[in-house]
């Protein structure tokens, strides 16, 4: 059953209708589904499970993994309940008083001998036989959620514990806080544990705190973003820019003012451009390894509002937060047995990580932390607005490029969609899951990535196949180097089978150059090959196939295929894929269970071959994908926007020199890869 708010106000919230009361309804909707699976106050938050091949605990998992699932369920559902407990301490669901349930279960989790005891760090280290001196465990993650929720419900739960009970909880937390953690965003979990303990008068090692904090600060790359391990994704927003704000309030402003000031400056810097990552409806893009957390990506707005001097426009922040909330909760496939699915919309295994369990999607409740803001806070009282979208002219696209994290957003006025282009990505060549999450050419807020991988075709990716092999297999690019934007063109490079032990000149690569048009992205990419004969394909976005009209067109020597149909919710969808120079054919394949929106999908793809080992054949591959949520025909000039393509070389292959693309609307773009070799970034 999808969420339908009963309390709305379209004067205060002209775009979504949602108010603080609507958000309270949404939180109760989520928590009711969870409590529908809890039979008594003694039962842990262990939810029904339909996926057992990828997620934990596996059948051979160590005992601590089963304990981790119990703790994950407790703490992540507590994210939903803690603000509600403060608002309504007498809330009862499925016959259970919610406040009493969490008060009891928190004590069970930290108390040795109790059935629902989840093990402290020392217990797990003793059980660990890996020999890893830096071993760390999932429970560390959940301790941060626990202390945040105890803070949010301090009057109703924390302050009602006896001194002995508080000491018991504190000892459990201290064991994790002072022990090993993962050297990336996990440091923040230890920092919050330490800060909570310090806030309530427990002794901590301030050098450990300071070491973690300086490391977090030095992961910063600029423009509000932090490098999380190797990658950039929404962890920078739901971890770095949420937890640092809480840490500032609890500890940093008083104890480490220099670091706290930097965290606040970084948060305010993020707010300058972060709203542009969402589309006009407030939709969140399916990008990064933990898409099952969905609208948790909006939690950094709440984080900024926790800073002493926040920069975000509260009316814009609420509009995005509410739009993203409705993106997921208003769908009828969002819940399974009352619990958010392991997917982006419905169940979607290609998105799921082995560090996730059935309770992991409750992490999306970070978006609900805004409920801690009082009813008279500007976040709730300001009128919704759509910020920069209001200022865009007809068919204008606002392009914002961030060199620090290697991210580029295109906000299209024509269709209200936001497209994200990413860089600075390296994954193992066998890690298709990681490549899909980080290495697609474009991520689209209304056309989430499709995991199709057949017939040498993938969505929004080049695939190459070496035709001289006995059993040719399509190869996906596993590295993206960032160059940056020049004269309105974004430059990157994709490597196939990238590995450090092999010189890059012995790897096929494609120099990527693309730029925004009214409804999408046009690309003019250049092949760098060391080996032929070779087949090259390029897929468009996966298209939800719930009955699709397929239209083929040709004009000016170019070919296009247009798809018209509807997504799972019945919204109109349209996609047009145009191939220009360098390509031979455009075709489609049907796929099943590879699209996060619908069971069936269609992927349009371009196809070409290069035969001669050292032949001077066309190097440039020019194409375009445009989309909209309407069945109204695209204008011919949108589908076929190119007036002429001018090459430097007389053979018109693009082997050397600039290539100029003249558009029918009077614009032109010069594609020039000279110099890219001297500034490729990871």
The mean per-residue pLDDT over the stretch 395-422 comes to: 98
H/E stretch holding 482 = strand 477-486
In-domain check, residue 630:
yes
Regarding whether 397 and 372 lie in a shared domain, the answer is no
Residue 549: Cβ within 10 Å count: 10
Least confident of 353-357, 402-406, 448-452: 353-357
In-domain check, residue 12:
no
Q: List, as one string, the DSSP characters of 186-246.
A: THHHHHHHHHHHHHTT----HHHHHHHHHHHHHTEEETTEE-BTTB-STHIIIIIHHHHHH
d(CA 436, CA 450): 8
Regarding whether 519 and 500 lie in a shared domain, the answer is yes
Tell me the three state secondary structure of residue 504: helix
CATH assignment at residue 408: 2.70.98
Tell me the three state secondary structure of residue 567: coil
Regarding whether 536 and 572 lie in a shared domain, the answer is yes
At residue 229 the predicted structure's pLDDT band, cuts being 50, 70 and 90, is confident
- Among 334, 364, 390, give the residue marking a domain's end: 390
Per residue in 458-481, is it b (16+ CB within 10 Å) or e — as a string? Answer: bbbbbbbbbeeeeeeebbbbbbbb
In-domain check, residue 7:
no
Of the candidates 326, 319, 302, the one whose C-alpha atom is nearest the C-alpha of residue 249 is 302
Number of H helices and E strands in the chain, helices first, is 17, 27
pLDDT in the model for residue 307: 98
pLDDT in tens, 312-324: 999 999 999 999 9
Give yes or no for a contact between 357 and 71, defined as CB atoms under 8 angstroms apart: no
Preceding omega of 159 cis (within 30 degrees of 0): no
**Residue range of the domain that includes 376:** 20-390
C-alpha dist (Å) from residue 335 to 30, 111, 311? 9, 32, 35
Query: Quick check: 60 pLDDT over 90?
Result: no
pLDDT in tens, 258-271: 999 999 999 999 99
In-domain check, residue 15:
no
pLDDT in the model for residue 157: 98
Q: List, as one string, the DSSP characters of 522-558.
A: EEEEEEE-SS-SEEEEEE---EE-SS-EEEEEEETTE
- Tell me the backbone φ, ψ of residue 603, rounded to 5 degrees: -125, 115
The mean per-residue pLDDT over the stretch 553-557 comes to: 96
DSSP H helical segments within 221-308, as ranges?
235, 241-247, 253-255, 257-271, 299-306
Of the candidates 272, 285, 270, the one whose C-alpha atom is nearest the C-alpha of residue 236 is 270
- Split into its structural domains, the chain has a count of 2
Q: List, as one string, the DSSP characters of 69-104.
A: HHHHHHHHHHHHHHHHHHH-TT-EETTEEHHHHHHH
Query: Quick check: 659 pLDDT over 90?
Result: yes
Within 8 A by CB and 6+ apart from 8, the residues are 17, 18, 19, 22
Q: In percent, how much of the chain has pLDDT > 90?
A: 97
Give yes or no for a contact between 91 and 99, defined as CB atoms under 8 angstroms apart: yes
Rg (CA), the chain: 26
Give yes or no for a contact between 223 and 405, defined as CB atoms under 8 angstroms apart: yes
pLDDT in tens, 240-251: 999 999 999 999
Of the candidates 564, 560, 563, the one whose C-alpha atom is nearest the C-alpha of residue 578 is 560
Regarding whether 460 and 353 lie in a shared domain, the answer is no
The pair of three-digit structure tokens given for residue 433, joined into one six-digit string: 């899951």
Q: Crossing angle of helices 163-177/98-110, nearest 10°? A: 60
Give the sign of the dihedral formed by CA 17, CA 23, CA 24, CA 27.
Answer: positive
In-domain check, residue 397:
yes
Bridging pattern class, strands 92-93 and 96-97: antiparallel
Give yes or no for a contact between 101 and 93, defined as CB atoms under 8 angstroms apart: no
Of the candidates 416, 386, 377, the one whose C-alpha atom is nearest the C-alpha of residue 19 is 377
The mean per-residue pLDDT over the stretch 410-432 comes to: 97
Of the candidates 464, 440, 467, 441, the one whose C-alpha atom is nearest the C-alpha of residue 451 is 440
Regarding whether 568 and 426 lie in a shared domain, the answer is yes
Give the sign of the dihedral formed by CA 18, CA 22, CA 24, CA 25.
Answer: negative
Bridging pattern class, strands 477-486 and 489-496: antiparallel
- Among 341, 363, 390, give the residue marking a domain's end: 390
The pair of three-digit structure tokens given for residue 673, joined into one six-digit string: 């890869």
Regarding whether 400 and 368 lie in a shared domain, the answer is no
Per residue in 391-406, is it b (16+ CB within 10 Å) or e — as a string? Answer: ebeeeebbbbbbbbbb
In-domain check, residue 6:
no
Give yes or no for a contact between 420 and 287, defined as CB atoms under 8 angstroms apart: yes
d(CA 398, CA 410): 6
In-domain check, residue 107:
yes
Regarding whether 353 and 397 lie in a shared domain, the answer is no
| pLDDT, the chain, mean | 97
- Among 390, 419, 436, give the residue marking a domain's end: 390
Regarding whether 380 and 408 lie in a shared domain, the answer is no
In-domain check, residue 5:
no
Within 8 A by CB and 6+ apart from 514, the residues are 421, 441, 442, 489, 490, 521, 522, 523, 524, 525
Regarding whether 156 and 68 lie in a shared domain, the answer is yes
C-alpha dist (Å) from residue 14 to 7, 24, 25, 381? 14, 19, 19, 13
Predicted TM-score (pTM) of this structure: 0.97
CA dihedral 179, 182, 187, 189 (to 10 degrees): -70
pLDDT in tens, 68-112: 999 999 999 999 999 999 999 999 999 999 999 999 999 999 999
Residue 202: Cβ within 10 Å count: 17
Give the sign of the dihedral formed by CA 19, CA 20, CA 21, CA 23.
Answer: positive
The pair of three-digit structure tokens given for residue 449, joined into one six-digit string: 């990535």
Regarding whether 103 and 27 lie in a shared domain, the answer is yes
The mean per-residue pLDDT over the stretch 141-166 comes to: 98
At residue 611 the predicted structure's pLDDT band, cuts being 50, 70 and 90, is very high
pLDDT in the model for residue 646: 98
Q: Which residue has the tokens 């298209």?
A: 543
Query: Quick check: 128 pLDDT over 90?
Result: no
The pair of three-digit structure tokens given for residue 19, joined into one six-digit string: 């108010």
CATH assignment at residue 265: 1.50.10.10
Regarding whether 236 and 115 lie in a shared domain, the answer is yes
Of the candidates 471, 442, 464, the one whose C-alpha atom is nearest the C-alpha of residue 509 is 464
Q: How far apart are the first and last CA of the chain?
A: 44
The mean per-residue pLDDT over the stretch 42-70 comes to: 94
Regarding whether 439 and 386 lie in a shared domain, the answer is no
Of the candidates 233, 225, 185, the one whose C-alpha atom is nearest the C-alpha of residue 422 is 233
Q: Which residue has the tokens 């991520």?
A: 443
pLDDT in the model for residue 172: 98
Tell me the three state secondary structure of residue 112: coil
């Amino acid at each position: 059953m999808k969420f339908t708010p009963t309390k709305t106000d379209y004067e205060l919230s002209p775009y979504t209708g949602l108010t603080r009361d609507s958000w309270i309804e949404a939180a109760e909707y989520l928590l009711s589904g969870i409590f529908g699976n809890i039979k008594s106050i003694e039962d842990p938050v262990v939810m029904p499970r339909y996926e057992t091949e990828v997620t934990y605990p596996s059948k051979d998992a160590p005992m601590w993994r089963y304990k981790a699932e119990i703790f994950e369920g407790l703490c992540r559902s507590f994210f939903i309940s803690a603000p509600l407990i403060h608002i309504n301490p007498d809330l009862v669901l499925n016959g259970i008083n919610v406040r009493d349930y969490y008060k009891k279960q928190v004590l069970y989790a930290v108390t040795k001998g109790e059935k629902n005891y989840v093990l402290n760090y020392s217990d797990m280290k003793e059980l660990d036989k890996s020999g890893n001196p830096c071993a760390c465990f999932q429970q560390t993650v959940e301790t941060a959620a626990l202390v945040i929720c105890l803070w949010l419900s301090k009057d109703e739960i924390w302050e009602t514990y006896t001194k002995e009970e508080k000491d018991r909880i504190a000892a459990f937390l201290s064991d994790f806080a002072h022990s090993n953690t993962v050297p990336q965003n996990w440091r923040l979990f230890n920092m919050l544990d330490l800060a909570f303990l310090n806030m309530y008068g427990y002794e901590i090692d301030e050098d450990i705190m300071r070491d973690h904090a300086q490391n977090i600060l030095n992961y910063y790359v600029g423009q509000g973003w932090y490098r999380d391990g190797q990658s950039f994704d929404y962890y920078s927003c739901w971890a770095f820019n949420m937890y640092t704000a809480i840490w500032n309030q609890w500890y940093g402003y008083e104890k480490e003012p220099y670091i706290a000031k930097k965290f606040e400056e970084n948060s305010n810097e993020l707010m300058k451009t972060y709203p542009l990552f969402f589309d006009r409806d407030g939709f969140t893009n399916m990008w990064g390894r933990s898409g099952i957390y969905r609208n948790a990506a909006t939690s950094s707005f709440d984080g900024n509002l926790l800073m002493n001097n926040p920069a975000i426009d509260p009316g814009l922040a609420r509009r995005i937060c509410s739009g993203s909330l409705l993106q997921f909760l208003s769908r009828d496939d969002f819940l399974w047995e009352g619990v958010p699915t392991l997917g982006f919309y419905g169940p979607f295994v290609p998105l799921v990580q082995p560090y996730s369990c059935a309770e992991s999607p409750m992490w999306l409740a970070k978006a609900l932390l805004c409920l801690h803001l009082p009813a008279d806070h500007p976040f709730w009282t300001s009128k919704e607005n759509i910020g920069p979208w209001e200022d865009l002219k007809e068919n204008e696209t606002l392009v914002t490029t961030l060199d620090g994290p290697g991210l580029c957003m295109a906000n299209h006025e024509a269709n209200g969609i936001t497209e994200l282009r990413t860089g600075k990505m390296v994954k193992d060549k066998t890690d298709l899951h990681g490549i899909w999450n980080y290495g697609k050419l474009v991520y689209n807020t209304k056309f989430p990535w499709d995991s199709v991988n057949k017939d040498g075709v993938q969505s929004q990716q080049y695939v190459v196949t070496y035709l001289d092999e006995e059993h040719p297999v399509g190869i996906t690019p596993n590295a993206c180097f960032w160059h940056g934007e020049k004269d309105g063109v974004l430059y990157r490079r994709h490597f196939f089978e990238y590995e450090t032990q092999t010189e890059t000149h012995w790897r096929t690569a494609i120099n990527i150059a693309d730029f925004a048009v009214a409804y999408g992205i046009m690309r003019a990419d250049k092949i760098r090959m060391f080996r032929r004969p070779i087949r090259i394909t390029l897929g468009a976005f996966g298209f939800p196939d719930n009955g699709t009209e397929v239209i083929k067109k040709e004009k000016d020597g170019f070919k296009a295929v247009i798809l018209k149909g509807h997504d799972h919710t019945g919204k109109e969808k349209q996609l047009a894929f145009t191939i220009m120079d360098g390509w031979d054919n455009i075709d489609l394949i049907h796929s099943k269970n590879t699209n996060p929106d619908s069971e069936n999908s269609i992927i349009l793809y371009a196809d070409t071959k290069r035969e001669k080992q050292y032949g001077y054949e066309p190097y440039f591959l020019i194409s375009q994908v445009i989309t909209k949520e309407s069945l109204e025909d695209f204008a011919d000039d949108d589908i076929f926007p190119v007036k002429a393509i001018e090459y430097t070389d007389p053979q018109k292959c693009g082997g050397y020199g600039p290539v100029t693309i003249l558009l029918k609307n009077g614009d032109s773009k010069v594609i020039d890869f000279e110099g890219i070799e001297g500034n490729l970034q990871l």
